[in-house]
Structure 1
Amino acid sequence: MVNERVNGKNIVITGASGGIGAEIARLCAASGANLVLLARSIDKLQQLESELEQKYQINVEVFQLDVANTDQVKQVFEQIFASVGDVDILVNNAGFGVFREAHEARIDEIKGMFEVNVVGLMACTSMVLPKMRARRYGHIINIASQAGKIATPKSSVYSASKHAVLGYTNSLRMELDGFNIGVTSVNPGPIATNFFTIADEKGTYVKNVQKFMLKPEYVAQKVVSSMLTKTREINLPRWMNMGSVVYVLFPRLFERIGKRVLNKK
């Protein structure tokens, strides 16, 4: 899959060391984009950098970054601007979750999820917004979750963080109306990545939903296809998104009927 619109563009991807972040990077590289890859694991980023530069005639730069560290976010993005100039597309992909009932959630886990999933995403976005607004050009893609549209048992904190991402994304889209800057939220269901190594310690959820899990390559294709378009939302899989529609219209009925399915964590 090739998206000619991103050829020669500068694309920043957070959480790019694995999962859908790495797959998005591979597809963007195949489309001729220049990449800036960010993650906490510098070794994995360097391996991906070597892979992509050997295979494609593009420029790839990598920076170690914990998006929860807002001071580090500022420093790294200043280095990015000095090195590559303007950022055309920002993909806020970094995030994690831990599945626990609310009374079992530890404060450090609660803070961690919000610092990475919400504050880190906002911090990265705030770094590129002034230049994008001045140029009247760009695209911000926020990887949220179906959990941000349908709250489920045992993921109260994670769902809350993704609800926050969607609220921020929707407001941002309205603020940027007229600036020629696309703002897209990506709301996938469960994806077959190492996300669940942390999120699902007992492996119960993965076992119950394995046959429904999305492939990271498929999600990445949908994301890259949307780049530099006016796509508002990407909801995957489509049938799961129907649940969020029913939830909005008939919340009490949905919770009563869906309780057993939603409690599979």
Structure 2
Amino acid sequence: MGKLKGKIAVVTGASSGIGAGIARELASEGASVVLTARSMEKLKELENEIHQQGKGKALAVKTDMANRDNVEEMVKKANEAFGDVDIFVNNAGQMLTGTVRSGEVKEWEQMIDVNIKGILYGVHSVLPSMLERSTGHIINIASVSGYEVTKTSTVYSATKFAVRAISMGLEKELARTGVRVTNISPGMVATRLSNSTVMDRKKLETEDIAKAVVYAVTQPAYVNVNEITIRPV
């Protein structure tokens, strides 16, 4: 029997990369997983893959995390299909150019809308139910860019600093409520977004981040893993 049998999870940005890896891992441990992203075709492929695996259940729901109404509707569908959400993984994100000098205001706005507002909309959509039940786990996927800023990552790094700040504040707000918060900051992961980045060492795999999520959510109820930073060796 899987460690997460009977648990209901939502994974945002689940159509590829880290999000897809997290969804697969949660489902392999028996969870029912709601898959969200803007690409319904890719979500349906992952939904079918999880069903064929036969360990967990999946439901694909097309969602724009920058749209509050979309997020609320997605959680409503999750509740109708599986029940109250136990685990909410805020993974959806935009990683664009992000320099201030470029003047690419639309790119800044996309990152702010998805990386910051999307996180808050996701939390807002499930937190009342979690507080009412005195149980639940919010996982926020940040980045090592939330610790370190390069000359080309100013705005992106700012959004990931914000994700860490939200996580730290939430952990304090929710102390002794039964609702746990974990912030996970990955280093370079081998995904479509990082294909053009050359490193002198092996990049992390999506499964490495997924296993960290499972580690955090399977701790005893009195244990809150606040922050995990994962880097290539």
- Please give the range of the TM-score, normalised by the shorter of the 2 chains: over 0.9
Deviation at 1:195, TM superposition (A): 2.1
CA drift of 1:24 comes to 1.1
Residues 28 and 56 in structure 2, CA contact (< 8 A), matched pair in contact too: no
Partner residue in 2 for 1:153:
151
- Contact 2:115–2:159 (CA under 8 A) maintained in structure 1: yes
For this pair of structures, how many residues does the alignment match? 229
Bigger Cα Rg:
1
Q: Distance in 2 between matches of 1:211 and 1:98?
A: 23
Give the secondary-structure state (helix, strand or coil) at the position aligned to 1:192: coil
In structure 1, the partner of 2:180 is 182
More helix by share: 1
What does residue 213 of structure 2 align with? 223
How far, CA to CA, are the matches of 1:100 and 1:35 in structure 2? 32
Shift of 1:83: 2.5
Counting only pairs closer than 5 Å after superposition, residues 63-102 of structure 1 correspond to structure 2 as 63-102=61-100
2: CA distance, partners of 1:212 / 1:163: 25
Once the two structures are TM-superposed, the CA of residue 101 in structure 1 deviates from its matched residue by 3.0
Q: Which runs of 4+ in 1 moved over 6 A?
A: none
Residues 203 and 232, structure 2, Cα contact 8 Å, conserved in 1: no
Query: What does residue 8 of structure 2 align with?
Result: 10
Aligned: 1:233 with 2:227: yes
- Report the counterpart of residue 52 of structure 2 in structure 1: 54
Q: Any conservation in 2 of the 1:138–1:228 contact (CA below 8 Å)?
A: no
Match of 1:249 in 2: none
The one of 132, 135, 140 equivalent to 2:133 is 135
Asked if structure 2 preserves the Cα contact closer than 8 Å seen for 1:25 and 1:35, the reply is yes
2:106 equivalent in structure 1? 108
Alpha-carbon separation, structure 2, partners of 1:45 and 1:220: 17
> Are residues 226 and 3 of structure 1, via their aligned partners in 2, closer, same or farther at CA, if it must alter by over 3 Å?
farther
Give the residue type in structure 2 aligned to 1:89: I
RMSD: 1.7
- Displacement of 1:196 in angstroms is 3.3
Cα deviations by residue, 1:144-191 (Å, 9 ceiling, x for unpaired): 011111222210000000011111110000010001111000011111
CA separation of 1:3 and 1:238: change in aligned 2, threshold 3 A: farther
Gaps of 5+ in 1: 198-202, 240-265
Shift of 1:99: 2.8
Match of 1:255 in 2: none
Structure 2: 5+ residue stretches without partners: none
Query: Do 2:98 and 2:156's aligned partners in 1 also have CA atoms closer than 8 Å?
Result: no
Q: d(CA) in 1 for partners of 2:66 and 2:98?
A: 21
